[in-house]
A and B are shown apart, each in its own frame.
Chain A
């Protein structure tokens, strides 16, 4: 049941949240999807790349059922060979593009000489499940098949995504496991959207407050799954929280804010991985709202979260 009892926001994030909410309401409803797509919240990619020693090219590849989808490929200028990052962007399954949240993997490209492939999967509700996850999987397969020409040494090959992109990353890793597909060595699940059921305590604690509240979560999952949302007819690839066996997955990093809907499903996912003998690192940042590291990167706790995540990637790539 919805409740008003919830962890307080971090002081600095509370101040920033008021500004964020001016442009991004807590509750996103289906009738707002079109307007939100028309108002980009991410800076143009040229602006993001300005002053960085990173090249960008785009390739059209076969997505689900052979439909052409775009991937963006980022590497340092003069790149030879390095770790691979396959990126699935966020946006609640309904908005965003392959540049949403790209700053995070771009930093790893710049610092660790990695190659990042970011996939433009098709969005719900126009393209419901399984289009999104299958587009993501097709892009992963393409990346693995073209690894040597992309300059990716697959000894270190991670999948990473935030929010809906975290859920899609987790689902894609499950598909890769179950189809004996490309071998991933790590997955970075950033406040991942894993559970369509909207039944956890945290999904009842944020109603009309914060970023991506309970109502937004219902909007996103309903767009993705339609009438199947919350029923038995949902695959573990669409909603990885439904997986009862998380063994055989790559080393995992999960981070999430304590003050957001996805808190409990992120914690539970790490718990299930440990139960199944897996390797997972979990960080719950106190008072963090959904996406706090991207929306208030100046805040002290955001800086710490970003450093911690990048630190995990550094350890993974150098191990």
Chain B
């Protein structure tokens, strides 16, 4: 029964395998695993060593068997930015596999999320996650709303975008949802969502080192916009925003 997982590399690159890569990383991100676990995932999915360079501290390399390898440098390997100053890479020798780009992209995204969660002092990610979480106690959501600077009586909307889209002008973060990863943004009721915010989703404007190379092109600016609610009811707005985002999908 061995090697079932590693065989993903041999699967059809276009259809099912892509979804499997996405689902694999979504599951890991949903469980809030650490960076080494993410690297092991990318390594087993691609069948080659994978590396991580956090920029300032020591890096990490792992083998497809899940073992740590001596630290190394990205060199000329295919790489992707994984949050501020950080890089992940994939050490493919010979002909690239059809899924390499997808694995690298999802790894970069997952690592960026993991790091933003772990970053001390930031707290933005956790606050957004908490304020949208219908299962969180009301007091916890109120605390998170306060951390985000939201007035308990001033209505706001939750806006859902695809995970690969860059941040706009309002507090936002990538969160795990029942439908996979998505970017959640909290905007005031009066915000002009057809103007500034959609420009914010335009990759041409920001030059943001988004890990998702497919951020551009038609449909890049698609967003699901939830109803304006008091911050205490953001989970309802978020749930509607997610449904709306899914309706925009092909």
A and B co-occur in one complex: yes
Which parts of A15-36 form the interface with B (CB within 8 Å)? 15-16, 18-20, 22-24
Residues of B within 8 A of A303 (CB): 66-67
Known A11-B37, A14-B31, A295-B4; contact A19-B24, beta-carbon cutoff 8 A:
yes
Q: Decide if A12 touches B5 in the complex (CB within 8 Å).
A: no
Determine whether the beta carbon of A103 is less than 8 Å from that of B4.
Answer: no
The distance in angstroms between the C-alpha atoms of A294 and B27, with both chains bound, is 20
- B 53-97 contacts with A by CB, 8 A: 64-67
- Tell me if B131 counts as interface (CB < 8 A to partner A): no
- Top 6 nearest A-B pairs (CB, nearest first) are A298-B66, A11-B31, A15-B27, A298-B44, A15-B24, A41-B1
In the complex, B40 has a CB within 8 A of chain A? yes
Residue contact B40 to A298, C-beta cutoff 8 Å: yes
How far is B18's CA from A207's CA once the two chains are assembled, in angstroms? 28
B24 nearest CB neighbor, chain A only:
A15
In the complex formed, the residue of A with least CB distance to B33 is A11
The answer to whether A267 has its CB under 8 Å from any CB of chain B is no
Map CB proximity to B onto A19-58 as digits: 1 under 8 Å, 0 otherwise. Answer: 1101110000000000000000111000000000000000
**A100 within 8 A of partner (CB):** yes
Contact of B37 among A12, A42, A291 (CB under 8 A): A12
Contact between chains at B28 and A295 (CB < 8 Å): no
* A286→B223 CA distance, assembly (Å): 40
- Please determine whether A294 and B2 come into contact, CB atoms closer than 8 angstroms: yes
Residues in B neighbouring A11, C-beta threshold 8 A: 27-28, 31-33, 37
CA distance A230 to B170 in the complex (A): 63
Could you tell me the dominant secondary structure of chain A's interface residues? helix
CB distance from B247 to the nearest CB of A (A): 25
A12 touches B4 (CB 8 A): no
Partner of A297, one of B20, B31, B32, B65: B65
User: Can you identify 9 A-B contacts, CB atoms within 8 angstroms?
Assistant: A11-B32, A11-B37, A43-B3, A101-B2, A295-B2, A295-B5, A297-B2, A298-B44, A299-B66
Contact between A15 and B4 (Cβ–Cβ < 8 Å)? no
Tell whether B23 is near chain A: CB-to-CB under 8 Å.
yes
Complex interface bits, A86-100 against B, C-beta within 8 A gives 1, otherwise 0: 000000000000001
Q: Which of B1-40 contact A (CB under 8 A)?
A: 1-5, 7-8, 16, 20, 23-25, 27-28, 31-33, 37, 40
- How many residues in B have their beta carbons less than 8 Å from beta carbons of A? 26
A19: B residues at CB distance < 8 A: 4-5, 8, 20, 24
Are A18 and B3 in contact, with the CB atoms below 8 A?
Answer: no
B41 within 8 A of A: yes
Q: Which residues of A are found within 8 Å of B41, using beta-carbon distances?
A: 12, 15
Out of B4, B43, B44, name the residue touching A41 (CB < 8 Å).
B4
Within 8 A of B (CB), among A291-319: 291, 294-300, 302-303
The answer to whether A42 and B24 have CB atoms under 8 Å apart is no
Pick from A14, A41, A295: contact of B27, CB under 8 Å: A14
Contacts of A302 in B (CB 8 A): 66
Q: How far is the CB of B11 from chain A (nearest CB, A)?
A: 9
- Choice from A14, A43, A296 contacting B5 with Cβ under 8 Å: A296
Inter-chain contact B64/A100, CB cutoff 8 Å: no
Residue of A nearest to B43 (CB): A298
Q: Is the CB of B20 within 8 A of A100?
A: no
Q: Mark A217-253, 1 if CB is under 8 A from B, else 0.
A: 0000000000000000000000000000000000000
- Other than the known A12-B40, A41-B1, A291-B1, what 20 A-B pairs have Cβ atoms closer than 8 Å? A11-B27, A11-B28, A11-B32, A15-B23, A15-B24, A15-B27, A19-B20, A19-B24, A41-B2, A41-B4, A103-B2, A294-B1, A295-B4, A296-B5, A298-B5, A298-B40, A298-B43, A298-B44, A298-B65, A299-B66
List of A residues within 8 angstroms of B2 by Cβ: 41-43, 101, 103, 294-295, 297
Q: Specify which chain B residues have a CB less than 8 angstroms from the CB of A297 in the assembled complex.
A: 2, 65-66
A300, B20: Cβ atoms under 8 Å? no
Contacts of B32 in A (CB 8 A): 11
In-complex Cβ contact of A18 among B24, B31, B43, B65 (8 A): B24
* A186, chain B: closest CB distance, angstroms: 24
In this complex, which of B1, B2, B20, B66 has the most chain A Cβ atoms within 10 angstroms of its Cβ?
A: B1
On chain A, the residues within 8 Å of B37 by CB distance are 11-12, 300
B residues in contact with A42, CB < 8 Å: 1-2
Tell me which of A100, A295, A298 has the highest count of chain B C-beta atoms within 10 A of its own C-beta: A298
